[in-house]
Each structure stands twice: as C-alpha cells, then as structure tokens.
Amino acid sequence: MRSVSIFGATGSIGEQTVDLLQRAGGAEAFRIVALTGGRNIARLAEMARALRAEVAVCADPAGLAELRTRLEGSGVAAAAGPEAIAEAADRPADWVMSAIVGAAGLEPGLRALRHGTTLALANKESLVTAGPLVMAEAARHGARILPVDSEHSAIFQALVGEDVTAVERIILTASGGALRDWPLEQLARATVRDALAHPNWAMGQRITIDSASMFNKALEVIETREYFGVEPDQVEVIIHPESLIHSMVGFRDGAIMAHMGAPDMRHSIGYALNWPDRSHLPVARLDLAQIARLSFRAPEMARYPALRLAREVMARRGLAGAAFNAAKEVALDHFLAGGIGFMQMAEVVEAVLAALDGELSKEIGQMTLEDVQGMDHLARVRANEIAQVAAGAR
C-alpha cells in the first residue's frame, strides 16, 4: 500500500489532493502518514479522521489543544508548530505533497527529499528561493520531484520520452490576469477587488493577485529555469487568455509540444499522483469545436514589470530568488492592506533587490537552508521599510 503525506492539506491544492485520494479509495487504498494544516483545525481534524492519518499537525502551537480534542478517540496523533511540521516530514512516506504556501513550505519539502521520497511539488517558493539546494538534495538522495504547478506539469508531460538537450525553448502560458485589458495608465489605481476578478482559474486570494501582476508568472519562470535546468533566455512567456494550453516546449527541429486541458488543478495533481501511469481523472473534457479558437499575444513589459525582475533574479541567482520572493510577499501584504498601489508592488520589490545588491551572491553549491532563511528575513525587513516609505509618498 502506498504511503502518502500532505503538507498544507487544508489549502486549495491540499483539498484537491484529498479529493483525489478519497476518490481513489481513501484510507482503504493509501496509508496516510501525515496531514498538516494552518489555522483551520476543524477541517484538518475532519480529514485526518476520514483518511485515518497517523498524525495531524497544525502550524500554530496555540491550536494544539483544540486539535487534540477534535481527534480524541480517533487514533490520530496530534502535534503543532513549525518544528512538528518539519518532523512530520521525517516520517517516511512514498509520496509527499508539498502544498504549504510561502517560504514555510521549503523545509518540510527538503526534509522529505532526504528520505528519498517522491515529492509532488506545488509550493513555488521552494524552487524560487532555493532551487539549486532543492535539486541537489533530490539528486543526492535519489528522490524524485514531480511538478504540480499546471505549467510545469505541462512541460514535464511534453518532455516525456524526449531528449532534454533537444529543447530549444520553453513557453509558459499566462492568462494575463484580471487587469490584462485595462488601459496602462489606470493600473496604478487598481484595487484589490479589481485584481481579484481572475478570468479563468479559481484560486486563493494571494495567487490571484499575483496573476494580475504576473508576479506568479515571474515565480514560474524562475522555477522553470531551476527545475528543467535551461538557460534564462530559453524561457518565454506568452499571454493565452483562454488558459487551455498550460504550457509548451519548443524543440530544435521547430516542433512545439503543447499540453491542453480544462483549467483544473486536479489535472496536474492527479498526474503527479498517478505518475508514471495515467488514470481516470474527474476533470471536464474539452469540447474543441465549441472552443473554436485559441489566441495568443505577447506580454507588454510596461504592464508586467515582474517579468523583467524575474530576468534580473535569474541573472543574479544565488540568494536573489529568496529576496525576490520575500519582497514580493511583503509588497502584496501592503497592497492588500491598502498601503501601496498595484503598480507599487513591483517598485518595492525592485528597490529591495537594489538595496540588498551586495548580499545576494552565493556560490550555488554552498547554499544552505539557513542562508535562504536569513535572506528571507532580511528582505522582509527591508521590504517593510521600503513599502512604508512608498505608502507615505503615495
């Protein structure tokens, strides 16, 4: 029986993973090792009971008493706090879903890789902040990473049976987000509500705003470079408003392999769960005649400064990804709180990268978790200072 753990089980990706596990037989078909969650303790306890998990862990230590109470008599052990989450990753499991949001997802993923597990990686921040470290740990321990982000799953699938040296370019598709058709000069005034009106995907609030600003695509460009080992100039972004092609790989003979499907994350979660097989998945089938046409357009650089910053980060590498991600998260907090404007998010991130310029270099082979966490902290402090000044100047 395959053993499975889910980090971030109560989130959007986590819930969809649980849904697929339940449909595939749940506790009868899988041995569920660890489930972790954040603040939604009721839901965490409910899924841990249903899947008969060995342990359920919540991020906040203050939630432990409630978690214990809710799990009473179930046989599921309860634990809490970041250290307990990291320890849960030391419990061997054949397949581990990394779906915690943010930099907190890095450590459990790294720990799981050290046990040679197959890591289904949804957490973008792992490859953005510590790509070389994550890939080296996987290689060292013979662990496999299966990408879960729809773009990277699409690229992975387009590469099955291919020689990676024949890859000329990787083309990431982007919806363009909620504000893609707004006049440029109005973007500075876009509100949180405006940025949340995503055309195609139903996702969490933060990632939806990151889609509108294309910070999400910027993270994915960096992830692509790190995961597939291609050069930065081999990674392209194209706006594809229908979101039916999830990404493409161009080969040296001019052929392009595109991956299509309904915009449903259970595609890529299910692919990672069933890999290397394909099993039936409960996702909508495309009616191509009804869709009739697909469209593409180049992203305007003035509209999406995050894409330019991603190029800078890839050129710098080292700890630039950790600084970029942390600054982006803080800038987003300030935008959500109404402190800074929509276009000021990129200005804050750019200013943080400039302020930390002398501290971003790091020999790739020497990078440690502590370096990454240190830079994450430093960049957050700087980003808060810079965002406060930006808010005052508004």
By a kind-dependent CB cut-off of 5 to 8 A, residue 99 interacts, out of ligand NAD, Mg ion, none, with ligand NAD
Question: What character string, x for contact with ligand NAD (CB under 6 A) and - otherwise, covers 261-280?
Answer: ----x---------------
Per CB under 6 A, which region of 100-108, 158-166, 312-320, 385-393 contacts ligand NAD? 100-108
Measured from the CB of residue 57, what is the shortest distance to ligand NAD in angstroms? 9
Judged by CB under 5 A, the residue of 149, 210, 226, 350 near Mg ion is 149
Tokens linked to 211: 């889609």
From residue 20, alpha-carbon distances to 76, 269, 272, 275, 389 in Å are: 21, 8, 11, 14, 46
Residue partners of 105: CB distance under 8 A and separation at least 6 = 7, 8, 98, 99, 123, 125, 126
By a kind-dependent CB cut-off of 5 to 8 A, residue 37 interacts, out of ligand NAD, Mg ion, none, with ligand NAD
By a kind-dependent CB cut-off of 5 to 8 A, residue 123 interacts, out of ligand NAD, Mg ion, none, with ligand NAD
Between 210 and 390, whose beta carbon lies closer to ligand NAD? 210
Q: Please say whether the beta carbons of 333 and 380 come within 8 A.
A: no
Q: Please say whether the beta carbons of 211 and 18 come within 8 A.
A: no
Sign of torsion over alpha carbons 300, 301, 303, 304: positive
Question: What character string, x for contact with ligand NAD (CB under 6 A) and - otherwise, covers 201-220?
Answer: --xx--x-------------
Judged by CB under 6 A, the residue of 35, 48, 55, 59 near ligand NAD is 59
Per CB under 5 A, which region of 141-149, 178-186, 276-284, 337-345 contacts Mg ion? 141-149
Q: Please say whether the beta carbons of 124 and 229 come within 8 A.
A: no
- What string of DSSP letters covers 154-215? HHHHHTTT--GGGEEEEEEEE---TTTTS-GGGGGG--HHHHT--SS----HHHHHHHHHTH
Between 157 and 344, whose beta carbon lies closer to Mg ion? 157
By a kind-dependent CB cut-off of 5 to 8 A, residue 12 interacts, out of Mg ion, ligand NAD, none, with ligand NAD
* Residue 41 within binding range of ligand NAD, rule CB under 6 A: no
From residue 301, alpha-carbon distances to 176, 223, 387 in Å are: 12, 20, 22
The DSSP H or E segment spanning 223 is: helix 215-228
- Residues forming the site for Mg ion (CB under 5 A): 149-151
- Residues forming the site for ligand NAD (CB under 6 A): 8-14, 37-38, 59, 85, 99-102, 104, 122-125, 149, 203-204, 207, 265
